[in-house]
Amino acid sequence: MKVLLCSMILIQSVLLQAEDGHNLWLGAKSTSPVKVICSKKSATIDIAREELLKGWMGKAEASVVLTVKPDKSIKGDGFKLSLTGVQASNDLGILYGVYELLRRQQTGVSIKEETINPSYERRMLDHWDNLNGTIERGYAGYSIFWRHGIDSLSVNDKERTLWREYARANASVGINGAVLNNVNASQLMLTTECLERVKAIAEVLRPYGIKTYLSIKFSSPMLIGGLKTADPLDPEVIKWWKKKIEEIYKLIPDFGGFLVKANSEGQPGPQDYGRTHADGANMFADAVKPFGGIVMWRAFVYTASDEDRAKQAYSEFVPLDGKFRDNVIIQVKNGPIDFQPREPFSPLFGAMKKTSVMPELQITQEYLGQSIHLVFLASMWEEFLQSDTYQEGPGSTVARCTDGSVLPQKHTAIAGVSNIGHDANWCGHPFAQANWYAFGRLAWNNKLTSEQIADEWIKLTFYQYSSGNAGHADFSKDWVENFLNPVKKMMLGSREAAVNYMMPLGLHHIFSANEHYGPGPWWAPARVRKDWTPPYYHKADTLGIGFDRTLTGSNYVSQYHAPLNSQFADLETCPEIYLLWFHHLPWDYKMKNGRTLWDDICYHYEIGLQQVREFQKTWDKTEPYVDKERFTIVQSKLRTQCINAQVWKDGCLLYFQQFSMKPIPSDLERPVNNLKDIMESDMKRR
């Protein structure tokens, strides 16, 4: 019997369809015939009809009615779902409803009559793509928009096909906007030649409901307009921008607006002319308002000063609350530093009561192992969105403060920094696709749990349908127990594992400089400003470790509403996951589990390493249930991740041990690398 069972599993693994990941979670399914009834015709309705015809898994020859009809309960692009069809107030709502219907069929979720509305009006992908084809913090090849650079801006059918596939993937999870270029923008983005290409991209994305947006360089009037200034209050500058914006909307009537990074990390901005962020943002807002456009103004600003870098965005923007136009949205990174594996939510969420604020999340894993490490980010984003800001008392979560539930906002939005590139599987790692999917799902419904999203994605991405299960999602007990459940457990534990082997207990920004990949807590050249070096953040010395942000330190805690400010400041109530973020503590400080701080740091690094080793074991057991191509690439990447976790553990513990002067607990594995070798290897990569 065992021999027969093994033979069956072997045959199954051989017959599994080869996958390069290009189809994402939208792979071909064995389907049933269906009749689609809709009196309205449009490009978007045609797409919805096509998706039903090729993806229907309900009763054979069933009739599905698509109805475009206003309803007070339907908001924006929302829809009403039922067993017999979809009703929406616009064509795009029909398309979203069709994708929801098909998703439920393919994942085995019951279909009932209900109204489903999006959490945010604008659900954005921010592409950090450069006009030379490269992608800043991109780990999956060249840009899908600018691969050949500005010397080759003509458009071909192959590109249009790729953009259409991209648009379909986004629409399937409710994403409805794309910023096509890097926030560190080139002035050339606004040249007529580049705008003509943007027009071509917009034409492909439009039927899928995706509006195009652009990042712009604040000093463009000087760099390509021949003006002597970019002062936002200068009449000639205002006139130049109005003319340029008119040109854009003539080419792209549904153009969404601008994303602006100004007076940040060397980028030009209104402060160069003694003006405020509000002055700069409002100039653009006034110019795009007649066309229905918005301005997303990034709050990622900090200067080389003695003030705690974590405090600076709040210090700059809170005094401007209420001074921005109503079509300006302040775009705020989830944490106050920079997309760290774990950091408390930025206090700007909950601080600005008269200004629209939107979260910015990072899908591409700049600080989380890039395209090598398996780290499912939905659990991080769930933690962030459900954090209580206490803006209007208990229950004022980040999600509710940004989706218009707590205070009215003229516009609501959420953005994710894209991990998409020209690689066949789009994201560089088969499991990195899950983060693109998860962002879209949370942007549509910010109350979803990471477990729900992981369950959906695994079923959509890895379950291979055959003629035997056409017409319904029939997940075998064997597949659920030996693939779905263990892989889901691995995904849901992966972010915490990364925190453990990288920066536990509130440590942050101790990465290798520039590439932000491996450990680098030692990096502190004299020529570099202090807040760009890891010692600025960990502050390890013979007395202890951590950043004092209490009243006796930088007083960053004061930027949070009560009771958070006092909870973070008090060692008795500060969550240990943020302990060293808010406190500088002695190495022998006693943790709640009875260990010393030094010993607990050691255990966290060890636990993280062991978690990744368990991921390897989990994945190796899935070989009979996944195609060889994806199995092999994930297996290889997990091996590299395990090696990296070992380097993180060894490098950080051996470095910090120089200050603690304490032994690594005897029951833990000894370091296998030498600190000198790790540091020398780090220097060679610079």
pLDDT in tens, 542-576: 999 999 999 999 999 999 999 999 999 999 999 99
* Domain's final residue, options 101, 116, 131: 116
Q: Are strands 413-417 and 356-362 parallel, antiparallel or unpaired?
A: parallel
Whole-number percent of the chain with pLDDT over 90: 92
98 vs 10, more confident: 98
- 477 lies in some domain: no
Calculate the average pLDDT of the chain: 95
The predicted-structure confidence for 319-341, as pLDDT tens digits, reads as follows 999 999 999 999 999 999 999 99
Least confident of 2-6, 498-502, 531-535: 2-6
Number of helical (H) and strand (E) elements in the chain, helices listed first: 21, 13
What domain count does the chain have? 3
Indicate if 210 and 355 belong to the same structural domain.
yes
**Do 90 and 172 lie in a common domain?**
no
Q: What separation, in Å, do the N-terminal and C-terminal C-alpha atoms of the chain show?
A: 57
Confidence class of residue 385 from pLDDT cuts 50, 70 and 90?
A: very high
Q: Is residue 11 part of a domain?
A: no
pLDDT at position 469 is: 54
Q: Is 12 inside a domain boundary? A: no
pLDDT of 5 > 50? The answer is: no
Asked if the structure places residue 222 within a domain, the reply is yes
Average pLDDT over residues 187-213: 98
Last residue of a domain, one of 93, 116, 139: 116
Which run of H or of E encompasses 644?
Answer: helix 628-660
CA angle 440, 444, 450 (to 5 degrees): 65
CA neighbours closer than 13 Å in the CB half-sphere of residue 222: 11
- The answer to whether 392 and 446 have CB atoms below 8 angstroms apart is no
Please give the pLDDT value at position 472: 57
pLDDT at 11: 39
pLDDT given for residue 685 in this prediction: 73
Q: Is the residue at 566 inside a domain? A: no
110 and 131 in a single domain? The answer is: no
Q: In terms of domains, do 132 and 72 share one? A: no
* Catalytic site positions: 265, 338, 366
Domain end call among 65, 84, 116: 116
pLDDT band at 31 (very low <50, low <70, confident <90, very high): confident
- C-alpha distances in angstroms, 297 versus 198, 263, 301? 21, 11, 11
State residue 686's pLDDT score: 65
CATH code: domain of residue 82: 3.30.379.10
User: Are residues 173 and 247 located together in one domain of the fold?
Assistant: yes
Question: Does the pLDDT value for residue 305 go beyond 90?
Answer: no
Could you tell me if 146 and 243 lie in one domain? yes
Name every residue whose Cβ is closer than 8 Å to that of residue 338 and which is 6 or more positions away in sequence. 300, 367, 509
In a domain, 609, yes or no: yes
Which tokens belong to 167?
A: 């648009």
CATH number at residue 514: 3.90.1330.10
Above 50 in pLDDT, residue 119?
Answer: yes
CATH (domain of 352): 3.20.20.80
* Residue 606 and residue 658 in one domain: yes
d(CA 680, CA 603): 26
Lowest-pLDDT choice from 426-435, 481-490, 522-531, 586-595: 522-531
Token readout for 642 is: 């395990």
Range of the domain at 665: 496-547+584-684
Whether the Cβ atoms of residue 384 and residue 359 lie closer than 8 Å to each other: yes
With respect to residue 555, please indicate whether it lies within any of the assigned structural domains. Answer: no
Please state, in angstroms and rounded to a whole number, the distance separating the CA atoms of residues 460 and 103.
Answer: 8
Residues 667 and 632 in one domain: yes
- Percent of the chain clearing pLDDT 70 (strictly above): 96
Split at pLDDT 50, 70, 90, the class of 8 is very low
d(CA 92, CA 254): 14
Count the neighbouring beta carbons within 10 Å of the beta carbon of residue 656.
22
Q: Distance between CA 380 and CA 226 in Å, rounded? A: 46
Same domain, 52 and 201: no
pLDDT in tens, 68-82: 999 999 999 999 999
Nearest of 27, 137, 627, 205 to residue 427 by alpha carbon: 137
Q: Is 7 among the domain residues?
A: no
Yes or no: say if 115 and 167 are a contact pair by the CB < 8 Å rule: no
50 and 149 both lie in a single domain: no
Query: Within 10 A of 589 (CB to CB), how many other CB atoms are there?
Result: 18
Asked whether residue 292 falls in the same domain as residue 209, the answer is yes
Does residue 468 carry a pLDDT above 70? no
Statement to judge: residues 393 and 507 lie in one domain:
no
CB 123 within 8 A of CB 208: no
State mean pLDDT over 210-220: 98
